[in-house]
Structure 1
Amino acid sequence: MFLKTYRFLTVLLAPLFDYILARRVKQGREEEARIDECRGVAGRPRPECAALFWVHAASVGESQSALRLIHDILARYADAQVLVTTGTVTSAKLMAQKLPERAFHQYYPLDRPDWVDRFVAHWRPDFVIWMESELWPNMLRALAARDIPAVLLNARLSERSGKRWGMVKSAARTLLQTFSMIFAQTPRDGQAFEALGARKVVVSGNIKYSALPLPCDQDDLDDLKASVKGRPVWVYASTHSGEEALAMQVHQRLQTQYPDLLTIIALRHPHRRDEVVEICQEADLAHCVRGEGKSLPGEKDHIYIVDTMGELGLFYRLAPIAMIGRSFSDDGGGGHNPIEAAQLGAAVLSGAHVRYQQEIFDEMKGRGAAKILQKPDELYDALYHLFGHEDALAALQLKGADFVAAKDGILQHVEDRLWQLTDDAFNKEGKKAE
């Protein structure tokens, strides 16, 4: 009943979808030039290839995790190509920079039946890999109707989502059985999917641990190191509204002990640059905006505002300490991926409100690989301690890097299972890379 009602409403309210897209364009949350892709209109022809994989990764975190898998798919299947879909402008820009040859990006269509059918009819994927927790009924119905093999990879299900789907358990079972296998991040996730009626669930771990290290341009890193010239530096990574003001308050307190301190604020959403510049001006803090011209901070700049995409790898290599954003409040909190920073040798700090990354942070905390702060006031104390105690800073950096390195084999374990499914789905001869 739920699925029939959902489909009926998405047909009945079809004009609303265009209104939603128009509003998102006005807000800068969609690319106007590519808006038809959100309606299922392809931005390019389907490639002539032996097999077309479709990898769907909703936003930046999921798409970053998928990159190594995409490389491995293309290495295994020499004549294959990979369609990658995401749902945000930020992730689209990231994919434009990082996708390898034979992989290309399109925006994911809104879940309106005719748009979904148009998308699937054009691309006709041979194998589908969805990342984490996206369950769109009309799209899954379209895949099942065409008998297209699909898996749910790095799957997670929050307690809240589990309860919601539990209220429509029959519908959840129908949707989940579209996937021939679900690779769950944790035993709790696996049990939750099984309780909803999933066909086959494997607890595989979190492939974020096996993601490729964030890249950086070595010349850019050398330029920044020369510009910083040994100044104490830290980065507040992937900041959201309210966190920039906190960073500046902490900076001003630390300045009494470290007058040449440089605070790097890397925005999660670059379009907020002007808002953050205004906060700097109100705080009377000299600042520099990186911008597309890659401006460098001068000796008198206290705050370095990073409004570019795909450069966190640069700043995790530059700054010995990384505070991870969106983690101090239940309202809008949830945390961001700490693995990328730890992998590159930065000491990881985070607030305690990290429900989207809870298992990762719990394990890192237990291993001494990250320091969890209960409230914003503790950020000053943590930075003051680490800047003043090189041994404590080095220990936190080392434990973080070792923690991630010890889990690097998770993706290989997943791929061993995945290749069994993909090899069965295709005529393997002639498609596997030599």
Structure 2
Amino acid sequence: MQPAYDGSMFAAYQDVILVAPNYRTNVFGFPNSPELPQTGQNLGFLDQRFALDWVQRNIHAFGGDPTKVTIFGESAGAFSVDALLTSFPKNSTPPFRGAILESGQISYRAAPEAPSTPSWDTLAAMLNCTGTSNLTCIRAAPATTIKNIIEMQELVFNPVADNVTLVSNPAQMRLSGNIVNIPVLSGTNAQEGRVFEVGQTNVTQYVQTTFGAIPGLPEQIEAAYPIGQNGLNSDYDVISQIFTEVEFQCSDALFANATASVGIPSWRYYYNASFPDAQPYNFLGVYHSSEIPQVFGSYLLTNPILGPTVQEYALSSFMNGAWAKFAKDPVGGPGWNAIGTGGSFWLGASDQDLGVLGNQGNTNGSGVTVIQESTVDYRCDLYKPLYEAVSGVQIS
């Protein structure tokens, strides 16, 4: 296990059992082979379901209760959580009762996933597997050879909609109300995109390339992120923030509020803190995945040389406790207002129901500060046409 995901603090201080199963990824988990049936493509998702089944059958041996399982994941792990949430229909009995999604979901995407069959074909060609069965030939190749080809060719293998482990229309499924009523805690980091957009230096080119298919949208987006304001001091800052909001923040706002709109308890957080011992490079700020050592309380394991600041220690203790509080009582929530308890920004009101974890304005926080979602989501309307086109649902 990677040190950041060490569950000792949950076990020692929160009386929570943490199970961290492995699952197959890339071509080994999501092959996209035309020789496999549709229901045999998402092997990685099936691995996760087998792991949850193992927990149901065995967690009692560790002092756990199989009726009190909360699933949680970050990034692709959060995609997996959303896939599970939307593939269990309303009257089913899933092997979990709560769900936490950190920096990811699949219901609202700014662009559709590209088919991965071309990646399978490229892999087959590189392995000289051009006979009657590419599948048989590729299966016979050494795993290290396959891995090297995938990395050198930058091949991507995505899940497919099999309507068993991944539905074809998760946003529509959620809004229809035909998903199991599982309380959710979801959120994003303030500067997710900084780790993805390193080296980008031309805002105009970026927005034209990324959003040029919709006339007028690139110009609107560029105007909404003026350089020299709100901490955006360079093209890299602007591009990173655009990526943060369109790929993570605004889509999570939709996810959280859509969930609440059908009567499922939903809480949302906004992580905004950066510490020296969590910075591989000092310009990354509150980057994608930087909250993980705070959630797990594992910051001393990830960087034992630099000691934590007082704020880091206190904030990590709070977040570790909030995640555990939610796991112990998902209906009760993590300790701040649920989305939709009196309305929300996306649903036409302005109640304070976004939990800021860390810094708010000039205050370096060590707990939660509850604010209106519109305080950070004020540019999200720009991206509605993208989400509507991909999700197939109208966003009010």
| TM value normalised by structure 1 | 0.28
**Larger Cα-atom Rg:** 1
Q: Which has the higher strand share?
A: 1
Q: TM-score, normalised by structure 2?
A: 0.31
